[in-house]
Structure 1
Amino acid sequence: MELRLAQGTPCWVSLLTDDLAGARAFYADLLGWTYTPGPGQLGAYVRAELDGAPVAGLGVSTATGFPVQWTSYFAVDDADHTAQLVRACGGTVAVGPLQAERAGRMAIAADVSGAVFGLWQGEEHTGREAGPEPGGPAWTELLTPDTDGAVAFYTAVLDRPVRNADDESTLLVHGRPVAGIRHRAELRGHPPRWRVHFAVRDADATARHAVGLGGRILVEPHDTARGRAARLSDPQGGHFSVLELR
């Protein structure tokens, strides 16, 4: 068994889509992913890999009207206990906690503002810590109109401190920033949400390539404090960001 990632570490991202075959083809071409089967009780679900290492999950949404979306998961030592904390702190638990075969134990929850996130208690599958490899998860950040409420919620639920700042507060694990919390008064019709970023070598070229594959550019490539980034949509409507490696 691999060592479990530290509590509060973003460890996995998963897409629920209404066209699994189309999503697989899009991300394979855009980010270089290959696929292997995932846990059977999660339905039609595959794990995306880079050079044999798992980086993301893709599955089919069975809920009518459920939006196509990426979900960020956080490593926890005890998914059942953390799910109880979510409820006690004013959030909701929509799925689980449930056992994903021998891979681990998971739950899908929402914070006090309705932003959806996952909990993962890794066993045989510990997930993947955000890293700099092209095609892999690079960063995740929460967009919310209530940063104070979000900071209090995640500090209590994940038992990790948050460093407050005017532009972006950051969740810390052993003193290292692992995720951001950003204030957005206007979310343009979207609910508060965790935004997934994937590492790429060239944000501009990746954005153009996404359009060629049937995706859309939601926010043109631009420079940020973390590097050059772009906000994109896959052909099925799943929103994600790409972040250029420095």
Structure 2
Amino acid sequence: MTEARGSAGLNGEAHARYMPGTPCWVSLMVHGLAATQEFYRGLFGWEFEPGPQQLGPYVRALLDGREVAGIGQLPPDRHLPIAWTPYLASDDVDLTAETVRLCGGTVGVGPLDAAEAGRLAIGSDPSGAVFGIWQAAAHGGTRITGVPGTPAWNELLTFETASVTKFYKTVFGYEEEPVVSADFDYVTLQVDGRPVAGVHGVGHTLPRDRGPHWLTYFEVADTDEALDLLVDLGGHVLQGAHDSAHGRVATAADPEGALFSLIQSPR
């Protein structure tokens, strides 16, 4: 991953508008909405308010009154993987969704309007990794970044970077910056010369039951303390805290199994 905070201002405020291709929102669909709110309220200090109801019960998570993420409730008969989904900004979600199809991806939801908030679609790349597309109207996306409890980075874990990076470059117009290494397959996706997301090829170390997927990193003040709290709240540690070039990181799952990473920026 990288230290880049794609949309953060110096004071933690997000810019008013996200450039096309920039991750602008993360959303989670679960079976137990109330229990999931309690978990993330305890872990990140989020508060909640109702959001658009087109896809069923849905709430927006807030920090200091500013929107950070969304959590919705799956219908009882829908047994989809429970996963955090990043939404990538678009000026024309219908055109972007059509480009996804033309480039070998699929569109499973939408495009459709989310009341006055904006217009969305949910698709998957040719390897099967799911992502959202967001065309902002009243709701611009995550309103605060760079502080504990906010999304810090989004990274695609996939088999290899070359073919899937070509897909995302064609659909969203990214520039790419590969990591030159004989044993590390990694590409940073850039918008207007600025890193906004990563693609990590991990070969056959991908879990067979999960396949290629996007992983969201959330900022925390102290990774080790956050993991202790997460376990107390009913979450699970999948990869313990360890130091990296970009901070102290760990990977965990919430009580319903949604994966995410925690990162404590270098002091």
Alignment of 1:88-127 (within 5 A): 88-127=102-141
The answer to whether residue 258 in structure 2 is matched with residue 238 in structure 1 is yes
The residue number in structure 1 matching 2:38 is 25
Residue 130 to residue 10, structure 1, CA distance change in 2 (3 Å): farther
The residue number in structure 2 matching 1:59 is 72
Say which is worse superposed, 194-203 or 55-64, in terms of deviation. 55-64
Question: Is the 8 Å Cα contact of residues 137 and 198 (structure 1) preserved in structure 2?
Answer: yes
The answer to whether residue 19 in structure 2 is matched with residue 16 in structure 1 is no
1:149 alignment partner, one of 163, 172, 175: 163
1:205 alignment partner, one of 225, 229, 235: 225
1:85 alignment partner, one of 65, 89, 99: 99
Q: Tell me the distance in 1 between the aligned counterparts of 2:239 and 2:61.
A: 25
Q: Tell me the distance in 1 between the aligned counterparts of 2:247 and 2:113.
A: 37
The residue number in structure 2 matching 1:173 is 191
Say which is worse superposed, 3-12 or 85-94, in terms of deviation. 3-12
Percent of aligned positions with the same letter in both sequences? 47
Shift of 1:68: 1.1
Residue 3 to residue 180, structure 1, CA distance change in 2 (3 Å): same
Residue 94 to residue 130, structure 1, CA distance change in 2 (3 Å): farther
Q: Tell me the distance in 1 between the aligned counterparts of 2:141 and 2:197.
A: 16
Could you tell me which runs of 5 or more consecutive residues in structure 2 were left unpaired when the two chains were aligned.
Answer: 1-14
Residue 34 of structure 1 aligns to which amino acid in structure 2? E
Question: Is the 8 Å Cα contact of residues 26 and 87 (structure 2) preserved in structure 1?
Answer: yes
Question: Is the 8 Å Cα contact of residues 130 and 139 (structure 1) preserved in structure 2?
Answer: no
Question: Is the 8 Å Cα contact of residues 25 and 141 (structure 2) preserved in structure 1?
Answer: yes
Question: Is the 8 Å Cα contact of residues 10 and 129 (structure 1) preserved in structure 2?
Answer: no
1:183 alignment partner, one of 172, 197, 201: 201
Say which is worse superposed, 195-204 or 236-245, in terms of deviation. 236-245
Shift of 1:245: 2.3
Question: Is the 8 Å Cα contact of residues 223 and 262 (structure 2) preserved in structure 1?
Answer: yes
Say which is worse superposed, 137-146 or 183-192, in terms of deviation. 183-192
Q: Tell me the distance in 2 between the aligned counterparts of 1:73 and 1:60.
A: 18
The answer to whether residue 213 in structure 2 is matched with residue 193 in structure 1 is yes
Shift of 1:114: 0.3
Q: Tell me the distance in 2 between the aligned counterparts of 1:71 and 1:220.
A: 22
Shift of 1:171: 0.8
Q: Tell me the distance in 2 between the aligned counterparts of 1:130 and 1:162.
A: 26
Q: Tell me the distance in 2 between the aligned counterparts of 1:109 and 1:172.
A: 20
Question: 1:4-26 deviations in whole A, cap 9, x for unaligned?
Answer: 31001110000111111110000
Q: Tell me the distance in 2 between the aligned counterparts of 1:49 and 1:17.
A: 18
Residue 141 of structure 1 aligns to which amino acid in structure 2? E
Shift of 1:118: 0.4
Question: Is the 8 Å Cα contact of residues 4 and 123 (structure 1) preserved in structure 2?
Answer: no
SS at match of 2:140: coil
Could you tell me which runs of 5 or more consecutive residues in structure 1 were left unpaired when the two chains were aligned.
Answer: none
Count matched residues: 245
Q: Tell me the distance in 1 between the aligned counterparts of 2:60 and 2:255.
A: 19
TM-score, reference length from structure 2:
0.89
